[in-house]
Amino acid sequence: MGSTFGHLFRITTFGESHGGGVGVIIDGCPPRMEIDVEEIQFELDRRRPGQSKITTPRKETDTCEIMSGVFEGRTTGTPICIMVRNKDQRPGDYSEMATTYRPSHADATYDAKYGFRNYQGGGRSSARETIGRVAAGAIAKKILKQVSGIEIIGYVKKIKDLEATNIDSNTVTLADVESNIVRCPDSTCADEMIAKIEAIGKAGDSIGGIVECVARGLPKGLGEPVFDKLEADLAKGAMSLPASKGFEIGSGFAGTLMTGSEHNDEFYIDEAGNTRTRSNRSGGTQGGISNGENILIRVAFKPTATIRKAQNTVTKDGEETVLSARGRHDPCVLPRAVPMVESMVALVLCDHLLRQQGQCSLIDW
């Protein structure tokens, strides 16, 4: 059951890096919404390998096909299946991985769990699985935009020790993010990031960083007590992405250094008569429920596990050995992680939008 996410807007992904293909079923999509395959392809292109000099050279166009659930350009309300066939497969590149475990990768744990695994290209643990999430995220984003005017913008906040300080989460746009290949809207910092990623790639090593993501325009009231708090579901979504190691919302870990009187977001009434908060250390939720301010999260991604540098490791049969990974890898996952984080945020918000509509909008008693 681990391949399903969401309750009312629910997705189930399938597929491995090598094999027939990867994809997703979206069940519970509101009916009658216009869907253009190009909108989905746009997001997949932001995720695909080979898109720039700082991503893996694996060449996949990741061209998607809508198998069901859309008729005459509109959603029918029934399951939407979107599929991408695998193309640029080089199983030979992975023969060594049949027996040798890559450090900090899932080879050993899949074998321990299932007693068996598809060792080609990471199998189910490949980032290729996120194609289904990003395709579904494209649809979730559209619903959020059309129903509530919600916008979700993710960007690279930090690469290793290079932190972008010149980004305003209240105003940053998709165009700002897409203005450079590292997806950091602080263009000065972006240049440094790109150089650093290129250098580490040439060295056969890898680096990580932090993606920040803002959701603007949320209505108040999304999220549910007590386990399905908005931040709990966002955390689960983010921490289910490959290579993520940490999650925070609003003030996050830095918030632990403040006192309550410094940290609390004081309320005020704005000119339009709305209840607002002067600060947003809460990150857009209080008690797990959206308060109408921006949702602001950060996700930490470790350096890519697969590197060319030689590493000590072991084989499936319990022999110690040395591995210098071949195959084609990203020296840094961050630029491609941006649409993944956005997608998980969109999936969580869309699910909660429908849930709120289901429970709380029936009647005005």
Residue owning tokens 């700082």: 54
Q: How buried is residue 145: exposed, middle or buried, by Cβ count under 10 Å (0-12/13-18/19+)?
A: middle
Query: Which of 338, 343, 324 shows the shortest CA–CA distance to 96?
Result: 324
Of 106 and 345, CB closest to its own copies: 106
Of 116 and 175, CB closest to its own copies: 116
Q: How buried is residue 298: exposed, middle or buried, by Cβ count under 10 Å (0-12/13-18/19+)?
A: buried
**Hey, what are 309's tokens?**
């540098």
Q: How far is the CB of 192 from its own copies (least distance, A)?
A: 15
Q: How far is the CB of 243 from its own copies (least distance, A)?
A: 10
Q: How far is the CB of 311 from its own copies (least distance, A)?
A: 6
Q: How far is the CB of 28 from its own copies (least distance, A)?
A: 6
Q: How far is the CB of 261 from its own copies (least distance, A)?
A: 5
Q: How far is the CB of 61 from its own copies (least distance, A)?
A: 18
- The amino acid occupying position 87 is K
Q: How far apart are CA 155 and CA 102, in angstroms?
A: 29
Q: Do residues 131 and 62 make contact, with C-beta atoms less than 8 angstroms apart? A: yes
Of 88 and 319, CB closest to its own copies: 319
Query: Which of 335, 347, 354 shows the shortest CA–CA distance to 12?
Result: 347
Query: Which of 331, 311, 327 shows the shortest CA–CA distance to 102?
Result: 311
What are the φ/ψ torsions at residue 311 (nearest 5 degrees)?
Answer: -135, 150
Of 112 and 187, CB closest to its own copies: 112
CA angle, residues 240, 243, 245, in degrees to nearest 5: 80
Q: How far is the CB of 80 from its own copies (least distance, A)?
A: 8
Q: How far is the CB of 123 from its own copies (least distance, A)?
A: 7
Of 143 and 172, CB closest to its own copies: 143
Of 65 and 179, CB closest to its own copies: 65
Of 171 and 245, CB closest to its own copies: 245
**Hey, what are 33's tokens?**
């919404």
Query: Which of 344, 303, 339, 332 shows the shortest CA–CA distance to 48?
Result: 339
Query: Which of 234, 220, 218 shows the shortest CA–CA distance to 5?
Result: 234
Give, in order, the Cα–Cα distances in Å from 155 to each of 74, 76, 347. Answer: 30, 33, 17
Of 173 and 199, CB closest to its own copies: 199
Q: How far is the CB of 361 from its own copies (least distance, A)?
A: 6
